[in-house]
Each structure stands twice: as structure tokens, then as C-alpha cells.
Amino acid sequence: MVQLLGQFVLALSPIIWLVIGLCGLKLQAYQASLGALAIAAVVALAAWHMPAVNMATAALEGFAMALWPIVIVIIAAVFTYNLTVHTGAMETIKRMLCSVSADRRILVLLIAWCFGNFLEGMAGFGTAVAIPASMLVALGLDPVTSILSCLIANGFPTMFGSIGIPTATLASITSLDAIALAFTQALMAFPFLIVCPILIVMLVGGGTKALRGVLPITLVAAASFAIPEALAARFIGPDLPDVVGAVCSLAATFGFALSLKGREVPEEHRMEVAGADEPIGASEALRAWSPFILIFAVLVLTSKIVPFINGPLSTFKSTVNIYAGDPEATLTFSWVNTPGVLILLCGIVGGIIQSCPPAEMLAVLGQTCKQMSKTVVTMLGVLGCAKIMGYAGMISTIASFFVGTLGSFYPLVAPLLGALGTFVTGSGTSSGVLFGNVQVQAAQSIGVDATWLAAANSLGTSAGKMLSPQSIAIGCASCNLTGKDGEILGRIAPYAFAFALCMSVMVFALA
């Protein structure tokens, strides 16, 4: 037992370092992630006797996965936003949004919750934090509050992000029915999806008093997402729940906001934007929104919803084996039909529509890459660390410790494993790959429904996504808060831990 406990602590050491480095030592995310990578490498070599070549190639696979598709989509998303700022289109967008409502609480619901969830459903990979957070800052919201709002909003849609890849992958590796798994996940997430918009409004408004006057529209925003998401999961499967929910929520919340127009907004919640009351022509509005309209249209048309476009584009890919320890461990790179490439192209076309010269677009792209440089290093460190931990067996050791010591109480930690996997990798998909079969095997050994515990893993990814250094680094980079990762982690931790506790109790009680 002492030996198992020692191995468990050693396996957790890279994660323990991340927490200490970010919260205790106040290191920047890229510094903490490089430290975690180094610790994982040393522990894998010394304690798990991983061959040096395997360790190096595991890290290299993590680096490759970080660069493509994660880094490319982050840079593309931030470039698109920076370009709209450069061309002045963001000022038009700000005026339009504030013409719908001057109430910052309603604007955060529209941007962080509705628009952010749509981006998560279509693209994922950090876009749902990067773009909405930067838009909120442009509207005048405090950067820290903007990031925290988007982290809370982005948590629970993660399980159906990127056209359902996390859930589809989990169903595939566990041989569970995809529709049954998706519907179980949606039912588990339902109460949390109702709570999240309420928490966002309280965060932006400074407490429960902020709900006064906007509780009805907040509940509409929540229910109009949660109910369609559950229905889409039940009757369509894992591909579209986020997209269907986000579109319904955006339409319902936007319509409700228009019905409230003209009502007096309390001074402490009012956002003043110059020219908000001035009429904006249709052509000017289309030019301003063109990059985001294009992103919406292109991501829909190239998704699995339109197979005759998705299929041919998906053939432009390469599958390679990087990890030396397993010739069947392959990584596939989609060169065209990947969110980063598509968003970058939409940004460029949007810049052309906004009459931005190519030289200026290139300069904005260069500035964006420089702005994101430390975030890129963070991605490399986190994914390299995650791959070493996974291939060395450190992740399996963590899981085995919980299964072996808790027995019938294992459902209490089922969502925590999902959270842990996402905290380390920044990805709900990777968390499912790491722990999906562990959850199924544990369910079989203690006589619990396997779909329930597999869904609990996905539920846990929501809390892990909020805490993930990757998500926090993306938010900080998009809002020019480099070096504030530790502060953001400390501020979001109470929300994530409270969610995790509630998840554990619910999963155990209903197992």
C-alpha cells in the first residue's frame, strides 16, 4: 500500500508542480509548463524506466499535437480578432452590440455564453475563450472578468466541442453506443448548464444583486441552450448538441434582449459606447461582421453536417508514427479541413472585404504570432508532459490507485479523473482517451452502468477545462494579460472545485 501511494504521488508530481508553480511561485504559464515537462521526463526515466528514445518521441508527439491543430487555431482566432480591431470593424461591432443592449450583463450572456458556445461546438481548441474574451475586453469589460466569464461558459460545452469529437472518440474507444452516451452526458450536464449563466451574471455584476432585473433573460439563455442540446444528443447524437443549443440560445436571448430595449439600465451595469445610438447601414454591418459570418458559414459547410464537402476536404491529411514505443500509435494531421486553417482563411477574406491591404494583414499576423509566442511554449510544455505521462504509465497509475483503494466508492472520483485528464492535456478528447477504458473497466468491476461512468468522465472534463493552464494561457494571451495565469487560476479554482464536488456527489448518488 505504501509503495502504491508512493507511485501515485510520483505520478502526480508534474501536476503538483504546475499548481505550485502557477499559484505558489507565481510563475508564468510557459515557465511552469516547461518545469512540468522536465519533471515528467525525469520521473518517467527514473521511476517508470521508460527508454530515453521513447520519452523523447512521446514529448515530440505532444509538441506536434500542440502545433497542429491547437496552436494554429489559437493564432488564427486571435489574428481574426486583431484584424477587426486594426480595420476599425470592432468599433462597428461594439456599437451594434450596445445598440441591442447597454447592459453589460446581457452582453456577456450574448458573447461569452451564446457566441462562445457556438464557437466551441464548431471549432473548439480555445476559440471559445480567445475570441469572446477579446471581444468583451474591446467592449470595455475588465480583462480578468472577461477571461473568467469565458472559462465558466466554455466548461460544460467541451464534451460536444468541435462537432462532437470528444464524445465520438470516447464512444469509439470504449465501444459504447454514441447516442446513448451523448444523451447521458447531456442529462448529467443539464443542471450545470442552467447554473453557469447565473454565475456569469453574478461574476460580471458583483454578486447576487446583479441578477435583479435580468434573471428572466438569464434563465432563458440557460434553458434555451440546455434543452435543445439534450434533444439533439438524444435524436441526432454527439455531433451537433452544442451547435443546436447555441443557435437556439442566441436567437432566444437576442430576441429577449430586444424586448427589453428602452428599459433603464442601472448605472453600475451600463456600458457606454460612443455612437451606439447612431444607425448603422446594412453594408457597414456586413463588412464589420464578415470574418465571423464567414467562420460560421465555412465551419458549418465543412463539417460532418455536409458530407459531400467534408469528405473530399478530409482526404488532405497525413498519418505518421512519432512515438517509438508503439508503431501503431499514430497521429493524423488534417491539412485543410481543420479549424485553424479555415478560420485563418476566413480572417484573410474578411480583411479583404474590410479593405485591409495585404501588407497590413501580414503585419497584423506577425504581431499576433509575437503576442502568442509564450502561449505556444505553454502548449508545447503541457502537451509534451501529457504524452510522456500517458505513454510511461503514470496516468494509469493514478487511475489504478483510485480504483484499487476506493472500490464501490469509485464513482465519487470518476468525474475527477476526467477533470484531471483535461487539466493536464487541455483537451476533453485526450481525457477520454486517457481514462475512458479505465472508467468502463471500473464500472464492470463494481457493477455500475458503464455508460454512466464514461459519461461522468466527460462531465469532469468541464471542471478540468476551466482550470487547464492551456485554457488560461489562451485567455491571457488574447486579452494581453501575459503573466497573470496564476491570478486567473486562483480566481477560477473555487468555481471549478465547487462544480467538481457537485459532480462527484451526483455521479455517486445516481450510479
pLDDT tens digits, 19-63: 788 767 877 778 888 998 999 999 999 999 999 999 999 999 989
- Give the pLDDT of residue 390: 83
pLDDT at 148: 95
Say whether the peptide bond before residue 69 is cis (omega within 30 degrees of 0).
yes
Q: What is the residue type of 310? A: N
Structure confidence at residue 275 (pLDDT): 57
Q: pTM of the prediction?
A: 0.76
Q: What is the pLDDT along the chain (511 residues), one digit of tens a residue?
A: 677 788 889 988 988 887 788 767 877 778 888 998 999 999 999 999 999 999 999 999 989 988 887 788 778 877 887 898 899 887 887 777 767 887 889 999 999 999 889 878 876 767 788 888 988 888 888 899 999 999 999 989 989 887 787 888 788 778 788 889 999 999 999 999 999 999 999 999 888 898 988 999 999 999 999 999 999 898 878 877 898 899 899 899 989 988 887 787 787 787 766 555 677 888 988 999 898 888 878 877 887 778 898 889 889 999 999 999 999 888 888 898 887 888 899 999 999 999 999 999 999 999 989 887 887 888 788 788 878 988 998 877 887 887 788 888 999 989 998 898 888 767 787 778 777 877 887 888 788 899 999 999 999 999 999 988 878 888 888 888 877 888 898 899 999 999 999 999 999 999 7
Closest to 228 measured CA to CA, from 114, 330, 141:
114
- Return the amino acid letter for 49: H
Q: What is the rounded (10 degree) CA torsion for 194, 145, 339, 335?
A: -140
How far apart are the C-alpha atoms of 351 and 427, rounded to whole Å?
A: 30
Confirm if 322 and 60 have CB atoms less than 8 A apart.
yes
Q: Is 421 within 8 Å of 463 (Cβ atoms)?
A: no
The pLDDT assigned to 265 comes to 77
Q: Give the CB-side neighbour count of residue 470, counting CA atoms within 13 A.
A: 28
How far, CA to CA in Å, does 351 sit from each of 92, 151, 189, 446? 15, 28, 38, 57
Structure-block grid coordinates of residue 473: 494561457
In the structure grid, which three cell numbers stand for residue 501, read together? 464536488
* Nearest CA-CA partner of 413 in 433, 442, 391, 450: 442
State the pLDDT at residue 123.
66
Taken in order 19, 24, 28, 30, the sign of the CA dihedral is negative
pLDDT at 349: 96
